[in-house]
Amino acid sequence: MFLARTRFIAGATLVAGALVGVCSVAVAQEKVLNLYTARHYKTDEALYSGFTKKTGIKVNRIEGGEDALFERIKSEGANSPADVFITVDIGRIWRADQAGIFEAVKSPLLEARIPAAFRDPNNHWFGFSARARIIAYNKAEVKSGEIKDYEDLADPKWKGKICTRSSAHPYMLSLTASMVAHLGEEKAAAWVKGLKDNLARDPKGGDTDQLRAAAAGECAIAVSNQYYYVRLMRSSKPDDKKVAERLAIVFPNQGNRGTHMNISGGGMLKHAPHKDAARQFLEYLASDEAQTYFANGNNEWPVVRSVKLDNPELASLGEFKHDSINIARIGQAQATAQRISDRAGYK
Q: What angle do CA 51, 66, 163 make, to 5 degrees?
A: 110
Residue 141 has what pLDDT? 97
299 compared with 17, residue with greater pLDDT: 299
Residue 267 has what pLDDT? 97
Asked if 84 and 281 count as a contact pair (C-beta separation under 8 A), the reply is: yes
Q: Tell me if the domain spanning 27-130+264-309 has CATH number 3.40.50.1820.
A: no
Q: What angle do CA 36, 174, 67 make, to 5 degrees?
A: 30
φ and ψ at residue 241, rounded to 5 degrees: -65, -35
Task: Say if residue 225's pLDDT is above 70.
Answer: yes
Dist. CA 180–CA 234, nearest whole Å:
34
Residue 222 has what pLDDT? 98
Name the least confident of 77-86, 158-167, 232-241, 287-296.
287-296
Residue 8 has what pLDDT? 33
Dist. CA 114–CA 123, nearest whole Å:
10
| Domain ranges across the chain | 27-130+264-309, 131-259+328-344
Dist. CA 127–CA 116, nearest whole Å:
10
Name the least confident of 121-125, 137-141, 164-168, 291-295.
291-295
Task: Say if residue 27's pLDDT is above 60.
Answer: no
Task: Say if residue 213's pLDDT is above 70.
Answer: yes
| Common-topology check for domains 27-130+264-309 and 131-259+328-344 | yes
253-304 residue pLDDT tens: 999 999 999 999 999 999 999 999 999 999 999 999 999 988 888 899 999 9
Dist. CA 36–CA 155, nearest whole Å:
42
Residue 1 has what pLDDT? 37
Architecture of domain 131-259+328-344: 3-Layer(aba) Sandwich (3.40)
* Measured distance between the N- and C-terminal CA atoms of the chain, rounded to whole angstroms: 86
Residue 290 has what pLDDT? 94
Dist. CA 132–CA 290, nearest whole Å:
19
Asked if 37 and 88 count as a contact pair (C-beta separation under 8 A), the reply is: no
